[in-house]
Amino acid sequence: MHLPPSTARVDLRQNRRASALLAVYWVIAILSMALFTGAQFLLVELETQGNTSLEFRAEQLADAGVALAMHPKMERWDPLLRQRTGPTEGFEASIISEGARLNPNVLAISEGGRRVLTDLFMEFGLSEFDSQSLSAAMADWVDRDSDETPLGAEGEYYRSKGWRGIPFNRPFRDLEEMVYVRGFDEVAVRYPGWRDVFTLWSAGKLDLNDAPAELISLVCACPPGNASRFVKVRAGRDGIAGTEDDVKFESVSQALDVLGLQGEVKQLVENLVSVDDATARLISVGKIGDILIERTVVVRDRNENPSFVEVRTRRLR
């Protein structure tokens, strides 16, 4: 069908007007969307900034706790370590001996230490054979030579798996290195919380004044009941650990007597335990509103010439 030229022009103009109108609607729609999105971004950004400044405040509060805990004269039961600084804010700091954890660098290089590691891995759920093999592989990892110990693993084993340059033949410098030791993957699967059991910063002996009952029983090869009773004695008359009446053992011999160890067993264990590790773990949680930030600082020689060896921060909530 052919329209007369004039009608065609009118239609064309109408079409153009309709197109222009449509374009205006589009522009309005896009602008509205842009404004809406912009407003949303602004809201999110304001919220993020608000959270960031609250997090910063919580970190400051955590640091206030760390600073107090750092002081060599500060006792762990001192109420100054637990303060409320406002209606919704405050901090709680604690001081723990780093010797309350196990040091793989020291344990792996002695027979008594490897016995402890083997027992620990069995506690984690590994078989006796796998536990012994893993202890031996850890010894090969940290000792300086490339001679394989019985059940151990040196370069040849790792090369067969396509890994070159390991073991490092030096002490672990980071707990994460342990993951690469042959057989350690089984520990990571069976006991994901393994990192909380170990440290690389203690002098290497289990500090009986702070260690949990499970590790005392393991290292001292004594019944769990003895270790629990020992921990109760340590907590003092009020039965609560970390209070003023806590018992602090002055000598290893005295502590082992309370644990009920005698004779040869006592002699064997004496080399694996202490009562005064010089490295401390200060854990301080800063709180504001619903936000909790935990700062962990490991301090060497807190009483003499303090130095930080590790600082970690995590948001708990």
Query: Least distance (Å) from Ca ion to the CB of residue 51?
Result: 38
Q: Residue 312 CB, nearest distance to Ca ion (Å)?
A: 28
Q: Which is nearer to Ca ion, 5 or 239 (CB)?
A: 239
Of 143, 210, 276, 294, which one interacts with Ca ion (CB under 5 A)? Answer: 143
Binds Ca ion by CB under 5 A, chosen from 32, 49, 127, 243: 243
Which residue among 22, 46, 189, 240 contacts Ca ion (CB under 5 A)? 240
d(CA 223, CA 283): 30
246 touches Ca ion (CB under 5 A): yes
Under the binding rule (CB under 5 A), the answer on residue 177 touching Ca ion is no
Rule CB under 5 A: which of 29-58 touch Ca ion? none
Number of residues engaging Ca ion in binding (CB under 5 A): 10
98 binding Ca ion? (CB under 5 A): no
Contact status: 185 vs Ca ion (CB under 5 A): no
Q: Is residue 168 a contact residue for Ca ion (CB under 5 A)?
A: no
Cα dihedral: 21, 23, 27, 30 (round 10): 120
Q: Does residue 75 belong to the site contacting Ca ion (CB under 5 A)?
A: no
Tell me if 82 sits within 8 A of 242, measured CB to CB: no
- Least distance CB 140 / Ca ion (angstroms): 4
Quick check: 159 binds Ca ion (CB under 5 A)? no
Q: Which stretch binds Ca ion (CB under 5 A): 20-28, 165-173, 252-260, 291-299?
A: 165-173
Nearest-angstrom CA–CA distance, 216 and 210? 10
271 binds Ca ion (CB under 5 A): no
Residue 169 near Ca ion by CB under 5 A:
yes
Binding flag, residue 140, Ca ion (CB under 5 A): yes
For Ca ion, the binding residues (CB under 5 A) are 140, 143, 169, 235-236, 238, 240, 243, 245-246
